[in-house]
Structure 1
Amino acid sequence: MKTLRQFLVILAFTFAGEALHRLLPLPVPAAVYGLILLFAALQSGMVPSSAVEDAAQFLLRIMPVLFVAPAAALIESWPLLAGAWLQVLTIVAVSTLGVFGVSGVVTQALLNRLAPMDSKTEVHHG
């Protein structure tokens, strides 16, 4: 019952994202709106992490299964892609490397920014 309640919390933010997507004339996917809303609610303390933790862990564990349908659709679309496989492969490789690079830079910047805070909160026993 607890996990079902947690899924409903996540689903509520998903629906709120859908509503925002319909209301705002921006080219942002509804799922992104929902994630931003959930993140803001978690960060502000409006929603405690315990309200979604088990459901989120479950979704993370089954994430690879969620890619099966898109992969099957891609295989089904092979006749359309066959003529442009080199371009598609190039786009995938470049965008993957771009995501790796941006993720690394952002992560490093956050770690550097948080490092001074960690040293201030350290307790020294001596």
Structure 2
Amino acid sequence: MIPALATLLVFQLIGEALVRALAAPVPGPVVGMALLLLALVLRPSLLGAIKPTAQTLLQHLSLLFVPAGVGVMLHLQRLGDEALAIGVALVLSTLVGLASAALTMAWLMKRVTPSSDHDPA
């Protein structure tokens, strides 16, 4: 389990280092996760080494939300003060996400064409 955790943390560290070095507007763990995905595609045998540890982490994922919940409770007054801005940001980002997903789906559906254009019935 320790080598698998070390592998996951090394990819997170590499992601953090890249983000800081390039001043990228992306969280380091996201870059690290993308690099891990690339490594898994290039070297599938790595999956067997980290899968059990990753599954264990996912089973206990709810525990990782406890610090975020505590942070929300500590800053509840600030969240109340900024409720309108947070609400607008949530609604707009949800709409943009839905629209981009719908447009992507429509674009992909246009690209997939059936083998014959006529209906046999």
TM-score (norm 2): 0.70
- Give the % identical residues: 30
Please say which structure displays the higher CA radius of gyration.
Answer: 2
Q: Structure 1's 51 and 107: CA in aligned 2 closer, same or farther, altered over 3 A?
A: farther
Superposition deviation, residue 24 in structure 1: 1.4
The count of aligned residue pairs is: 113
Q: What is the distance in 1 between the residues matched to 2:102 and 2:57?
A: 24
Q: Which runs of 5+ in 1 are unaligned?
A: 117-126
Q: Structure 1's 38 and 103: CA in aligned 2 closer, same or farther, altered over 3 A?
A: farther
Q: What is the distance in 1 between the residues matched to 2:49 and 2:34?
A: 16
Q: In the alignment, is residue 83 of structure 1 matched against residue 81 of structure 2?
A: yes
TM-score (norm 1): 0.68
Q: What is the distance in 2 between the residues matched to 1:94 and 1:18?
A: 28
1:92 corresponding residue in structure 2? 90
Superposition deviation, residue 93 in structure 1: 4.3
Q: Which runs of 5+ in 2 are unaligned?
A: 115-121
Provide, for residues 94-115 of structure 1, a one-character-per-residue CA deviation record: whole Å limited to 9, x for no partner. Answer: 43465466567768988xx8xx
Moved over 2 A (4+): 83-110
Instruction: Name which structure has the greater RCO, CA cutoff 8 Å, separation 6+.
Output: 1
